[in-house]
Structure 1
Amino acid sequence: MTTSHTPVDHDPVQTVRTLQRFEFIRNRPPVSADRALVFITASGQTLSYLPNQQPTRGELVSKNFRALYEVETAYRHLTLEHRLPSKGDAFFFHAETDVTWRVLRPDLVVERGIRDVRTLLEPKLLALMRQQTRLFHIEQSAAAEAAVQDALTLAQPCEPDGIEVTCAVRLSLDQKAIEQYAALRGVSYAKEYAETEHSLDLLRLQQQQRLTEDRSRFYATMLEGDDIDRWALHLASNPQDIPLALEGIRDDQREAAANQVAIVERMLDAGVLEDHMMEDAARVAVSSLKSRLADAAAGRTRKKPLYREKNDAAALEMGGSDPEQQQ
């Protein structure tokens, strides 16, 4: 009697058949490039034949085979996804593992009754990966991924069962860890930005303070000079005020001369200076100062202010008389 088996997605055994005593006297078992034949004898012994090792007719008759398992030896693929804990178990990595497997020992697969490679493989992979990821913090996903990959490559978890397994692992953060880590990074960036703004404000304040100190020293130096220096400083920034500057300088000179005359007069009135104590040159100086003061009071200086000269010249050009003559 012959029975067939419908395999699950990850079942290495494709077909199971019950054999009659002389079933292969006339017909040979099927041959396939990616399937091995595993026979069970009446005594329970297991004999396997790879695709390039088919049994002879004599073996088929003499061994008294009672069952035949067709085991696939081609490469098969599956994808596994897991949540793996990070150090401290507060956050989790999201692991996506691409698994490639194939049967190397068909006899072991049949003897151990392996009908679902995923069921066999997944617990072993999960234990290995969890052991590695717990050594790393959640932000160390790259290092954790490399450690998991190395551990799986060295372990070969299904080799004792006659199955070769190759794994490619990709680790990332799960959604909760992404949100938390993004929030932490946002706080860090905000802190750095605030520190930078504070440094800039402090730099601006220091620059403003240095500028104020420089200005203070400059103005203090200028104020220690005479009136000519101060007027020069003013005209450097306001050249349009040249007429005003000239008039101001002349006013200062007239005021100084008047002050000198007043001092001498007070000294004379107080009798501090006797006539015989004054030299002729001093009398001449006093007389000259009095004359200059009188001229200044009457508006008659030796050099008229620049703006008055311009006004008088304009009046003459228009055919008028000299303003001083009119006075």
Structure 2
Amino acid sequence: MTDTYNPILSKEDIKRWALLQKRPTPEPGIALVFSGEGQPLIALIQGQMGITRGEMVWGKYNLLYKVDLTEHPLSFQFKLPCATDAFDFQAELKFICSVQEPEKIISRGITDVRLFLEPIMAEIMRNISRNYQVEESADAERDISLKVKRAIYDEGFQVYRFVLTLSLEQEIRDRIREKKRIEDTTEIETNKIKSQKKIEQEAQSLDMQRQLFEMERIKMQEQFEIERIKLKMEFYTPLLQAGNWQMLALQLAQNPQDVVFISQEINKQKQIDRENQMRMLKMLLDEDAIEGSQVSEVGKRVLQGLITMTEEYTRALGSGDSNNTESQKPILETEEPKNNTSDSVRPEFNWDED
């Protein structure tokens, strides 16, 4: 591959041509350029008609140039700066060059293609390469190639198989390779962190859903337990208040698991009755409704009422909590209480005593 060539093959004076001399015609790969004083250049290529013999004889065109139109492979090398002044691009340019406009070659007197094109190409390439970092060599190659090919065409040439390669020093390549490795490692670690974070978020979401589900389950269970207790209270409370111990004992024999509930209800009822007894006694004392000599008698009656109430509840509970064999036997006889619960705990006072 050559470094340069001279596109002007020859220069001839046509004034001395005889009138009968044959007019010059272009050969393949050669352009004829006629030049005359004060006349525009005329370029002829193969297949085109030239100037007349009369124009050549009478001196309008006195010079004939032959310009090489064939293709020539060229190779240039440049050292280009990058955005970072510490490093450079090593540029190698290869292309096929041929003359596109013979008139421009003659008017500019181009006899060395390299000497003419190299400064133009170097200026364009350097101005563009300063806009790119060493890591951006691929983008720089595309940008430079477009601008350089356009500049060559504007100067009267055309190019084929244009190849621009920007290479880097070993130190720069090692630096870029290490930077790429770090970026890849960082990306992998970042993806791991994102994945772990996503897993943790999903785990937190699932845990929150589990807690909400558990809270809902407990709430429903509590609601169910409230409804169950409510139903039991609606069933057993009338039996307790009416002192229907036979029916109560029968239900407990069939449902021994309700003994605890009944026991709690009895304890509640006993506590309420005790509070009523004590409230009544306090009211009588506050109102001086009884004499001092009657206090002892009234206290005895209140205490006897509390004992009687406790014994009745205890007998009812014992009847429902007997062994399995006895609890299955039908209750044939049950001693009816002489008075209602409310009557058994109400103290009797002789208001006629002094």
Matches within 5 A, 1:40-79: 50-51=43-44, 52-54=49-51, 56=53, 59=56, 69-72=65-68, 74=69, 76=71
How many residue pairs get aligned? The number is: 253
> How far, CA to CA, are the matches of 2:3 and 2:142 in structure 1?
31
> In the superposition, relative to structure 1, how do residues 251 and 217 fare at CA in structure 2: closer, same or farther (>3 Å)?
same
CA distance in 2, matches of 1:208, 1:274: 61
Displacement of 1:209: 3.9
Letter aligned with residue 214 of structure 1: L
CA gap of 1:85–1:129, structure 2 versus 1, over 3 A, is same
User: Which residues in structure 2 correspond to 1:1-327 (within 5 Å)?
Assistant: 10-14=5-9, 16=10, 27-28=21-22, 30-32=24-26, 35-37=30-32, 50-51=43-44, 52-54=49-51, 56=53, 59=56, 69-72=65-68, 74=69, 76=71, 84-89=80-85, 90=87, 92=89, 101-102=99-100, 103-108=102-107, 111-112=109-110, 114=111, 116-137=112-133, 138-139=135-136, 142=139, 145-146=142-143, 149-150=146-147, 153=150, 159=155, 163-164=156-157, 174=167, 176=173, 179=177, 182-183=180-181, 186-187=184-185, 189-215=187-213, 217-218=215-216, 221=219, 250=255, 252-255=257-260, 275-277=304-306, 284-296=312-324, 298=325, 300-301=327-328
Contact 2:128 2:144 in 1 (8 A): yes
2:30·2:67 contact (CA, 8 Å) conserved in 1?
yes
Amino acid at match of 1:136: Y
5+ unaligned residues in a row in structure 2: which ranges? 229-253, 271-299, 331-354
Shift of 1:183: 3.8
Query: SS where residue 70 of structure 1 aligns?
Result: strand
Q: Is the 8 A contact 2:153 2:159 kept in 1?
A: no
Alpha carbons of 1:164 and 1:94: their partners in 2 closer, same or farther (altered >3 Å)? closer
Identity of aligned residues (%): 15
Asked if the contact 1:36–1:106 (Cα under 8 Å) also holds between the matched residues in 2, the reply is no
SS at match of 1:199: helix
How many angstroms does 1:128 deviate by? Answer: 1.1
> What residue is the counterpart of 2:235 in the other structure?
none
Give the 3-state SS of the residue equivalent to 1:136 in structure 2.
coil
Hey, what's the Cα distance between the residues in 2 that align with 1:289 and 1:69?
A: 138
Larger Rg: 2
**CA contact 2:83–2:131 (8 Å) conserved in 1:** yes
Distance 1:180 1:125, change over 3 A: farther
Distance of 2:81 and 2:123 partners within structure 1: 11
Amino acid at match of 2:188: A
CA distance in 1, matches of 2:227, 2:191: 48
Q: 1:85 to 1:257 in 2, by over 3 A?
A: same
Contact kept, 8 Å, 1:79 with 1:97, in 2: the verdict is: yes
**Counterpart residue identity of residue 206, structure 1:** Q
Partner amino acid, structure 2, of 1:31 = T
State the alpha-carbon separation in 1 of the partners of residues 143 and 264 from structure 2: 97
Letter in 1 for 2:8: V
Structure 2 residue matching 1:124: 3-state secondary structure: helix
Would the alpha carbon gap of residues 29 and 35 (structure 1) be closer, same or farther in structure 2, given more than 3 Å must change? farther
Q: How far did 1:134 drift?
A: 0.7
Output the CA distance in 2 between the equivalents of 1:286 and 1:254: 12
Judge conservation of contact 2:11–2:65 (CA < 8 Å) in 1.
yes
